[in-house]
Structure 1
Amino acid sequence: MSYDVALVGSGFSAICIAAHLLSFLPPEASIAIVGDESDFGRGTAYRTELPYHRLNVPAGRMSVFPDRPDDFLNWLKENGLGDDPLLFASRGDYGLYLRDRLASLLRSREQRARVDFIRAKASACRPDPDGGYSFVLENGEKLRSRQVVLCLGVGAASLPVQTAAKPQEGSQRLIGHCWQPGWLSRVKAGDRVCILGSGLTMIDQVLTLRGKGHRGPIHVLSRRGLVPHPHVSPPLPPVDPQLPEGSMQISRLLQSLRRQVADGTPWRTVMDGLRPKTQMLWQSLTPAQRSRFLRHALPWWNIHRHRIAPEVHAAFERLLADGVLQIHAGYLRSIEERQDGVAVQYRRRHTQTMRELQVDWVVNCTGMERAGIGHSRLLETMKSDGVLLLDTLGLGVEVDGQSRLLRADGQVWPGLFAAGALTAGRFWEITAVPDIRVQARNIAQIIADRMAPDSRISVQG
């Protein structure tokens, strides 16, 4: 099978790029969307059907199309789900919106490119001598495409057992990553749960547990004990951040922003004003400055920048007030399974005091894996073959400003792109819909510009 474009992955990035390609490409073009998910386009984040899983961005900013900012809001109105641009809609509804928008494009009576959904995993992707790329699929089939976009995201971080006792073989009480299917159904109402990590994913899991009838104690352990801040309603308009002049240093940038807040500017408005400049600022930092940011400032960036819906924050605060949820700041030292449960030992932050939590479950919500490719056989094979390079900070893969993969000699692979979280090393802020949709449109436009009639390969079989 041969195609003009292959999108590898079946989550938001792939569907967003497909939507733009259908607008840009001629009707004789062909697109393959390759992924093993049964529900193309929704991915883990938007497949949930739980109403308390809310978007972290208001509906008025969640259109899949940058040039049609009210598209999601219009969909909500059409389906009787609200008409407030400040609404934090459910993630399940957003997944349905993505499905509907792609379906409407595919049903269009206007001439459009051919789209084939191939439910399979790719295990290898290698450049062809004539400039295209050949795939090996795990079902034994082969696929060839002139242009390729990797939309595979990054995997979840592994259970932090490097400083902990090794779990028993086949352990059923240590959940290596929280999206592991089936574990929630095994939790009893009174079970004691310890969640490792205190970010957005932790909040999702806490609310999911309570929504499914769990009433036992929940302990949250992270090195700093920081949790995401809420949005305010109604929101305040963003203000331009006061940035230091001259060479960019993390310390000078933080000093300038803190001074602006100390002078009376609400910090949320400063953070929102910083958002359009974040990618530019990140790219102006040296590798040493980026590394310093990741070591020292990242946890505070995350809780201020990636905020949660007010109603989600209120539900979380009620659990804290009731005492059923406790936040612990400390450093994990051991995880030991015993006959009566699991013992989690940690050292309290800023002390040498050791504490132990006796729980029935330990759930890993520590974020994304460093290096970002361990979840994908395809990406690991491409690395072994020298087709992709890992970002030096472990944030994904090396790409240029147009999202094209870089080779070892510093040149780009023509027609080979990555999208979404895989490109965080270059763009940093590239995990939220408002950022990915711009990248998706840009990639689709570059592909369309490359596809002159004499450069397209024919569609076969």
Structure 2
Amino acid sequence: MNLLPASSRLRVAIIGGGFSGAAVAWHLAQMPRPERISISVIEPRPVLGGGLAYSSEEPSHRVNVPAIRMSMAPDDPQHFARWLTGSGELEHDPDAIWKNGDAFPRRRVFGRYVAEHLAPYLGSGLVRHAEGLAIRVTRDASGAGWTVHTSSGLVAADIVVLAATHPQPAIPAALIHLTEAPGFIADPYAPAALAGIGPEASVLIVGSGLTSADMVAELDRRGHRGRILALSRRGLRSRGHPDVRGEPFGDFASAPATTVEFGDHVG
């Protein structure tokens, strides 16, 4: 599909420079005739590729799927696994290897993988890092383009890709009165957020999903031995990985079911 006349240069602005935004930029940069495209990635962090998910410096924060299932290249499932093997990261991190042989490296390692693959295009100028926070997007008066207003200036674009992360979770209304209370941690991913928790302290975690698992792992690394209680609305907790890896499956081509039919109940 021709989006612009042959003489024009397509300007793409990507809001968000984490994995999603960096991967979009990487794939666009590999398209034929790169001189016909201009790619700007708007991201406040100094390095592209990490984002919220893969910028953590906490060594206990690991990817939650095996490395063999992570890749920037959909047609090359081993892309990250090969890079990881050659990076030397696993030699310094024996805990990354699970008992079935799967590798679960630290999340910042995956961010490094993304950053390294995008680096040549940043170096050549094909991809530009607009370091700043996107504030708003406006339509040009002509209706033919967009302007992204950032904390460091304006970025003009013909196409805007929204690859921003989710906002920081809000404090539940029932706990809002605890905001200023000692020992209350609203943002557990803030630098050194758990550093002040004593090794024998009793800890209450509101929620039992992946963030909860991250916090337990970090507390354990810090030598915590006190009681930890996690609250779940459904009485559930994060499930561990099975010993044997199953094959991926899924049907994403057919229309999903919207009704359910109950058969005879067998007691």
Q: What is the TM-score with the length of structure 2 in the denominator?
A: 0.79
Structure 1 counterpart of 2:83, from 70, 75, 88: 75
CA separation of 1:193 and 1:124: change in aligned 2, threshold 3 A: same
CA deviation string 1:344-373 (max 9, x = no partner): xxxxxxxxxxxxxxxxxxxxxxxxxxxxxx
Residues 176-255 of structure 1 correspond to what in structure 2 (within 5 A)? 176-236=186-246, 238=247
Q: Counterpart of 2:70?
A: 62
Measure how far apart 1:212 and its partner are.
1.9
1:31 matched to 2:43: no
Conserved? CA contact 1:27–1:113, under 8 Å: no
Amino acid at match of 1:12: F
CA separation of 1:82 and 1:234: change in aligned 2, threshold 3 A: farther
Measure how far apart 1:14 and its partner are.
0.5
Q: What is the TM-score with the length of structure 1 in the denominator?
A: 0.48
Select the structure that is richer in helix.
1
Residues 51-200 of structure 1 correspond to what in structure 2 (within 5 A)? 51-81=59-89, 86-107=102-123, 114-128=126-140, 129-139=142-152, 141-161=153-173, 164=174, 166-168=176-178, 170-200=180-210
Structure 1 runs not aligned, ≥5 long: 239-271, 290-461
CA deviation string 1:180-231 (max 9, x = no partner): 3442222222322110111111001111112123332211111122112222
Cα separation, 1, equivalents of 2:13 and 2:209: 34
CA separation of 1:137 and 1:230: change in aligned 2, threshold 3 A: same
Measure how far apart 1:25 and its partner are.
5.2
Conserved? CA contact 2:179–2:186, under 8 Å: no
Measure how far apart 1:8 and its partner are.
0.5
Cα separation, 1, equivalents of 2:230 and 2:180: 24
1:6 matched to 2:13: yes
Conserved? CA contact 1:196–1:221, under 8 Å: yes
Cα separation, 2, equivalents of 1:41 and 1:211: 26
Residues 284-295 of structure 1 correspond to what in structure 2 (within 5 A)? 284-286=256-258
Cα separation, 1, equivalents of 2:105 and 2:176: 41
Amino acid at match of 2:108: G
Conserved? CA contact 2:206–2:230, under 8 Å: yes
CA separation of 1:126 and 1:218: change in aligned 2, threshold 3 A: same
Measure how far apart 1:153 and its partner are.
2.1
Cα separation, 2, equivalents of 1:80 and 1:181: 26
Amino acid at match of 2:29: L
CA deviation string 1:406-442 (max 9, x = no partner): xxxxxxxxxxxxxxxxxxxxxxxxxxxxxxxxxxxxx
Give the superposed CA RMSD. Answer: 2.8
Amino acid at match of 1:121: L
CA separation of 1:169 and 1:70: change in aligned 2, threshold 3 A: closer
Conserved? CA contact 2:52–2:165, under 8 Å: no
Cα separation, 1, equivalents of 2:217 and 2:41: 33
Amino acid at match of 2:158: R
Conserved? CA contact 2:49–2:112, under 8 Å: no
Cα separation, 1, equivalents of 2:122 and 2:212: 37
Structure 1 counterpart of 2:48, from 40, 44, 50: 40
Structure 2 runs not aligned, ≥5 long: 1-8, 92-96, 260-267
Conserved? CA contact 1:167–1:174, under 8 Å: no
CA deviation string 1:121-169 (max 9, x = no partner): 1211012223211122234x222100110111222431222xx264256
> What SS does the aligned partner of 1:134 have?
strand
Conserved? CA contact 1:3–1:32, under 8 Å: no
Cα separation, 2, equivalents of 1:170 and 1:50: 25
Amino acid at match of 2:244: P
Conserved? CA contact 2:70–2:80, under 8 Å: yes
Cα separation, 2, equivalents of 1:42 and 1:106: 15
Corresponding pairs, count = 242
Cα separation, 2, equivalents of 1:235 and 1:24: 35
Q: Counterpart of 1:459?
A: none
Cα separation, 2, equivalents of 1:169 and 1:60: 41
CA deviation string 1:31-53 (max 9, x = no partner): 11111112321122212244432
CA separation of 1:188 and 1:38: change in aligned 2, threshold 3 A: farther
Conserved? CA contact 1:47–1:95, under 8 Å: yes
Q: Counterpart of 1:15?
A: 22
